[in-house]
Amino acid sequence: ARGWPTFESRCAMLGKRTSQHAWPLLVDVAALGCDAGRTEAGLAPRYPPLRPDEFHALLVTKRFTNGADAELVANLYTATAREVIGGASMLKFGGLQWGVAELVELCAWLPHCQKLRTLSLVGNRIGDGGIRALAAVAASGGLQQLCDLNIGSNVISDRGGRALLKAIEAGHFPAMTKLETHGNRDLSELMRTRLREALRALDRERAARARVRTSSG
């Protein structure tokens, strides 16, 4: 495989979103074959964004007409990824069938997403392990600006719910106002209620702090 097409495909995966209501935004032309009339035949998978060191390791396995291009491409990817992922206020990775491994790869980027307010992971399979990975990022000081988290339809059970509840109650998601958990059949109504109550308590804490700032000002 060649180096420049690898760079182009990985950069496309950084910024494109999947949608059931639009033509595919990522297409693998080589996979179309003779069945080009079927959109899903050439639908390219979308992988989690690679860290710069991972992309550099990938480039080592690729061919370049000019060997000096390898360093240029690595630097271009680093700058692009930091701008697109690190500077994003909204990230949507819905319906990609990602599991825990892919979510863990994404979590390597999340501490650098200081402007991130909306994160949608709906329609994957991140499970309880994925929720624990998100909670760990939040506990380390990442996701401080996250307001809206959609983890619907992700095979999450009460074990994952407890990990998220603990993180919310510990103040690790200080800006969160909206949490979508629909479609997780093993997440009990009791746990959903406790999560909603935790968010309401967080709202009250923010309101109380705002009143203190207003009165002191």
| DSSP-assigned letter for residue 120 | E
Specify the pLDDT at position 23: 35
Specify the pLDDT at position 10: 82
Greater model confidence, 121 or 15: 121
Rounded to two decimals, the pTM is 0.82
Per DSSP, which regions of 68-199 are E strands?
90-92, 118-120, 148-150, 178-180
How far is Cα 114 from Cα 166, in angstroms, rounded to an integer?
22
Q: 13-17, 49-53, 110-114, 175-179: lowest mean pLDDT where?
A: 13-17
Helices of type H across 33-114: 52-59, 69-84, 100-107
Q: 27-41, 153-167, 174-188: lowest mean pLDDT where?
A: 27-41
| 149 contacts: CB under 8 Å, gap ≥ 6 | 119, 121, 134, 173, 176, 178, 179, 180
Q: 59-73, 178-192, 198-212: lowest mean pLDDT where?
A: 59-73
Q: Read off the pLDDT of each residue in 158-186 and give the average, rounded to a whole number.
A: 98
Specify the pLDDT at position 146: 98
Specify the pLDDT at position 150: 98
Return the closest-CA partner of residue 80 out of 117, 111, 49.
Answer: 49
Identity at 88, one-letter amino acid code: A
Query: Phi and psi (nearest 5°) for 20?
Result: -80, -5
How far is Cα 9 from Cα 4, in angstroms, rounded to an integer?
9
Q: Is the pLDDT of residue 29 over 60?
A: no
Q: 10-24, 81-95, 181-195: lowest mean pLDDT where?
A: 10-24
Q: Read off the pLDDT of each residue in 193-206 and give the average, rounded to a whole number.
A: 97
CA distances to 206, 209, 210, 216 from 213, rounded to whole Å, are 11, 6, 5, 5
pLDDT digits (tens, 9 = 90+) for 45-91: 788 998 889 988 888 888 887 777 888 888 998 999 889 898 999 99
Specify the pLDDT at position 38: 38
pLDDT digits (tens, 9 = 90+) for 120-160: 999 999 999 999 999 999 999 999 999 999 999 999 999 99
